[in-house]
């Protein structure tokens, strides 16, 4: 006798804060499944280093397609040395495996600006889910670590840095004193960070090509970029621990990233989930020697929603092994006015009296004042790209995403 089991897959509403204010998504309650390579493609980016513009454009086309489809992709042959990554990873484990009181020498409470260590369950990525079962160290951009300024004296005299950047220099070098008990930690992390910065700047040129803009379109607004990075540690299940596997119990709550794009290195443990256009959770499972790249809120805004800043989260770590990930968040100079490449004359937020620069947006978000869109291009409705897409019979992305409310 055969028994047929019918499972009913329902939908639920997921709410979160983003650079667009509070947004919601209609989400399937089906368990996460593996992503297909169409949903999260694997892009060979060696062409971005080619002398031949056609090779660079070929990568750009793949970036554009991925940015429009799911907003997530893997990159391989990215040029970041694998030994250097492994060294950063090993040093990350060394740090997190120390006693709590040692880690707290660089507690975030000791710093003014989002630098330092956050203990597990002290962050809350999404208020409708559990606190995050994660620890992390955050580092803000410091020009001294930027390979572009290697030829300047270090520390770099303020007079050599453009004045509009001064309020946005949020690196706090005291963090290194707090990890001096781990010889080699700083060197390992800085080497990794510098490589990510170089890669991200190159990719910004590819993203410009992807928008059919001159390759150097963003160059002068990524000189002192929003280039902040974290090392995250998701503890493994303790022996005998009964891990609560309900979807509300998370490693990191559902969110969108708020800069331009994110480069994420992850170890082989897995746990990153991505909400696809149909509102299904799909797994961005680890692929050796790759980074995961995702489009973030500012790129979505800057492209007038043509590219999608995709909701993602990290499920609870059910393996006995801890998971390490190293996300690197990249955006334009915080002092830079956002440009809408598709309506070059658009001035963001002027009509609404809302902030026009990335830094002000970040401040608003950190103060949690953000309950309405913080970035808005006044000519969004008539945006060239939307118009072109419609003319070509393609629906703009946001008309496809199951967006319940928000923008």
Ligand X SMILES: O=C(O)CCC(=O)C(=O)O
Q: How many CB atoms lie within 10 A of CB 79?
A: 13
Pick 168 or 233: Cβ nearer ligand X: 233
CA angle, 317 then 318 then 324, to 5°: 35
Three-state SS for 392? coil
314 scored as a contact of ligand X (CB under 6 A) = yes
Residue 353 contacts by C-beta under 8 Å, 6 or more apart in sequence?
A: none
For ligand X, the closer of residues 232 and 346 by Cβ is 232
Q: Could you say which of ligand X, Fe ion, none residue 170 binds, taking C-beta under 5 to 8 angstroms by partner kind?
A: none
The region of 171-179, 195-203, 264-272, 332-340 touching ligand X under the rule CB under 6 A is 264-272
CB nearer to ligand X: give 325 or 335. 325
Min separation Cβ 3 and ligand X, Å: 38
State the binding partner of 59 from Fe ion, ligand X, none, CB within 5 to 8 A by kind: none
User: Taking the complex as a whole, how short is the minimal distance between the CB of residue 251 and ligand X, in angstroms?
Assistant: 7
- What is the rounded (10 degree) CA torsion for 394, 307, 202, 345? 90
Q: Which two tokens stand for residue 59?
A: 């990568």
Q: Which is closer to Fe ion, CB of 192 or CB of 329?
A: 329
Q: In this structure, are residues 65 and 316 in contact, taking their beta carbons and an 8 Å threshold?
A: no
Residues touching ligand X: how many (CB under 6 A)?
11
Give the tokens for residue 301.
């805004």
Q: CA–CA distance from 312 to each of 62, 99, 283 (Å)?
A: 21, 30, 10
By the 8 A CB rule, do 230 and 139 touch? yes
Our CB check for ligand X shows the closer of 61 and 248 to be 248
Residue nearest to Fe ion (CB): 257
Counting residues that bind Fe ion (by CB under 5 A) gives: 1
**Minimum distance between the CB of residue 127 and ligand X, rounded to whole angstroms?**
16
| Pick 35 or 252: Cβ nearer ligand X | 252
Burial class (CB in 10 A: 0-12, 13-18, 19+), 109: exposed
The total of other beta-carbon atoms located within 10 Å of residue 187's CB is 12
CA atoms of 163 and 185, how far apart (whole Å): 32
Q: List the x/- string, 247-286, binding to Fe ion by CB under 5 A.
A: ----------x-----------------------------
CB 277 within 8 A of CB 311: no
Question: Please, which residue, 322 or 327, has the CB nearer to Fe ion?
Answer: 327
Q: Copy the structure tokens of residue 218.
A: 């963003």
Residue 17 interacts with Fe ion (CB under 5 A): yes or no = no
Omega before 328 cis (within 30°)? no
Near ligand X in 193-232, by CB under 6 A: 230, 232
- Inter-axis angle of helices 53-69 and 185-210, nearest 10: 90
Which helix H or strand E contains 53, and what residues bound it?
helix 53-69
Question: Is 326 or 385 the residue whose CB approaches ligand X more closely?
Answer: 326
| Residue 66 interacts with which of ligand X, Fe ion, none, CB < 5 to 8 Å by class | none
Least distance from C-beta 325 to ligand X, angstroms? 3
In whole angstroms, the minimum distance from the beta carbon of 260 to ligand X comes to 13
Q: Which of 39, 172, 257, 280 binds ligand X (CB under 6 A)?
A: 257
Category of 77 on φ-ψ map: left (φ > 0), alpha (ψ -120 to 50) or beta: left
Residue-wise over 376-395: b if at least 16 C-beta within 10 A, else e?
Answer: bbebbeebebbeebeeeeee
Q: Is 39 in the site for ligand X (CB under 6 A)?
A: no
> Applying CB under 6 A, which of residues 195, 254, 266, 304 lies at the interface with ligand X?
266
Q: Which is nearer to ligand X, 140 or 223 (CB)?
A: 140
Q: What is the contact mask toward ligand X in residues 315 to 354, using x (rule: CB under 6 A)?
A: ----------x-x---------------------------
What is the contact surface with ligand X in residues (CB under 6 A)?
Answer: 230, 232, 252, 257, 264, 266, 272, 312, 314, 325, 327
What is the contact surface with Fe ion in residues (CB under 5 A)?
Answer: 257
């Amino acid at each position: 006798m055969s028994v047929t089991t019918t499972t009913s897959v329902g939908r639920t509403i997921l709410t979160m804060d983003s650079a667009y204010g509070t947004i919601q998504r209609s989400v399937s309650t089906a368990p996460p499944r593996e992503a297909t390579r169409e949903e999260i493609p694997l892009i060979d980016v060696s062409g971005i280093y080619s002398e031949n513009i056609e090779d660079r454009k070929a990568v750009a086309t793949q970036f554009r397609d991925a940015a429009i489809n799911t907003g997530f992709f893997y990159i391989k042959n990215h040029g970041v040395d694998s030994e250097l990554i492994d060294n950063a990873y090993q040093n990350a484990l060394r740090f997190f495996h120390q006693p709590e009181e040692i880690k707290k020498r660089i507690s975030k409470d000791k710093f003014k600006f989002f630098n330092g260590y956050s203990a597990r369950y002290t962050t809350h990525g999404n208020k409708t889910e559990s606190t995050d079962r994660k620890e992390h160290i955050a580092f803000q951009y410091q020009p001294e670590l930027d390979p572009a300024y290697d030829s300047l004296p270090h520390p770099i005299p303020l007079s050599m840095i453009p004045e509009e950047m001064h309020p946005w220099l949020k690196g706090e070098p005291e963090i290194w004193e707090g990890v001096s008990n781990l010889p080699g930690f700083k060197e390992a992390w800085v080497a990794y960070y510098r490589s990510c910065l170089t890669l991200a700047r190159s990719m910004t040129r590819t993203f410009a090509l992807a928008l059919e803009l001159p390759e150097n379109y963003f160059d002068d607004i990524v000189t002192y970029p929003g280039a902040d990075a974290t090392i995250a540690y998701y503890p493994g299940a303790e022996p005998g621990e009964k891990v609560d596997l309900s979807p509300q119990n998370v490693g990191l709550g559902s969110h969108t990233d708020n800069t331009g794009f994110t480069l994420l290195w992850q170890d082989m443990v897995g746990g990153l989930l991505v909400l696809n256009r149909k509102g299904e959770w799909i797994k961005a499972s680890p692929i050796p020697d790759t980074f995961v790249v995702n489009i973030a809120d500012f790129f979505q805004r800057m492209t007038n929603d043509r590219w999608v800043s995709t909701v993602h989260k990290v499920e609870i770590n059910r393996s006995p092994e801890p998971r390490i990930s190293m996300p690197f968040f990249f955006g334009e100079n915080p002092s830079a006015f956002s440009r809408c490449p598709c309506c070059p004359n658009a001035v963001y937020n002027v009509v609404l009296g809302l902030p026009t620069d990335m830094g002000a947006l970040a401040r608003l978000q950190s103060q949690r004042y953000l309950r309405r869109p913080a970035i808005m291009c006044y000519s969004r409705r008539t945006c060239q790209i939307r118009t072109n897409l419609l003319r070509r019979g393609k629906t703009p992305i946001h008309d496809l995403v199951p967006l319940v409310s928000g923008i």
